[in-house]
Amino acid sequence: MKDFAKLEKTLGVKFKTKDSLKQALVHRSYLNEHGDFPLDHNERLEFLGDAVLEIVVTEFLYFKFPEKPEGDLTNLRASLVNAKMLSRVAADLDIDDNLYLSRGESKDKESKARQYILADAVEAIIGAIYLDQGIRQTKKFIKEKILCHLDEVIEQQLYLDPKSKFQEKSQEIYGLTPHYLVMSEVGPDHAKTFKIAAYIGDELISQGEGTSKQEAQVEAAIAALKEKKW
C-alpha cells in the first residue's frame, strides 16, 4: 500500500496537486498492465526534472567554487547527478516502495535496470516539485537531498573521471591505451541498456552496463580499476 502522505513528509514537500507526485512514480511498464490507469507515465516529468536538476546543481557549483575551471565543475556535477547517486537518494527517500511498476519490474529489485528506474523517478519528482511549487522549493529540495552529498564526493574523490584514470594507469604500467567493445544492446530506443567490455590489448578486464555507451564505458572503467586494484 502506497503512503503518499508519508512520502511527502520524507520529501519535505506538501503537493498542491497530489497527482503530480503520483505521476512522477509511474513507470511505463505499469501502464502496459493497467491500461485504464488515469495518469500517464513519468517520462515527461523526468525530462523536465533532469533539466532543472542540472541547472540548479550547475549554478550552485559555479558560485561555490569560483576558482575551479569548467572541466572540474563538470566532473563534480556529473558525480552528483548520475544514476548511481540518484538511486542512493531514492533509497534514502524510500521511493522504491511507492513506485508503480509492472509485476516483472516489481520483482527485479537488485538489477542495474532498477537503479535507473529509481534515478529517473528522482528526476521526475524534481520535475513535479518544480511544476507544483516553483523553483524556490525545488532548489531547497535539491540542496537538502542531493547537494548534501557534495562533501562526500570531494572527500572520496568521486568526481575523478574513471576512464581517464584507467587510461593513465594502463599506459603507465602496460604502455597500452585501453579500448572498449559493445557486448550487447537491448531494449527499445527510448530505454536501451548497453553492456560494454574494457580491454587492455587482448585482455578482457571488466564489463559495465549503462543507458548510454558512455555510461557503460564509465562503469566498465570503474570495475577495471577495482579489478586491477588501481
Q: Which region, left, alpha or beta, applies to residue 12 given φ > 0 means left and ψ of -120 to 50 means alpha?
A: left
Burial class of residue 49 in the structure, from the number of CB atoms within 10 Å of its CB (0-12 exposed, 13-18 middle, 19+ buried): buried
Quick check: helix, strand or coil at residue 183? Answer: strand
Residue 53: CB atoms within 10 Å: 23
Catalytic residues: 50, 123
**Residue where the block lists cell 587482448:** 202
* The three three-digit cell numbers of residue 215, written as one number: 555510461
206 neighbors 223 (Cβ within 8 angstroms) = yes
* The three three-digit cell numbers of residue 75, written as one number: 566532473
* The three three-digit cell numbers of residue 114, written as one number: 532498477
Quick check: helix, strand or coil at residue 202? Answer: coil
What is the rounded CA–CA span in Å between residue 223 and residue 225? 6
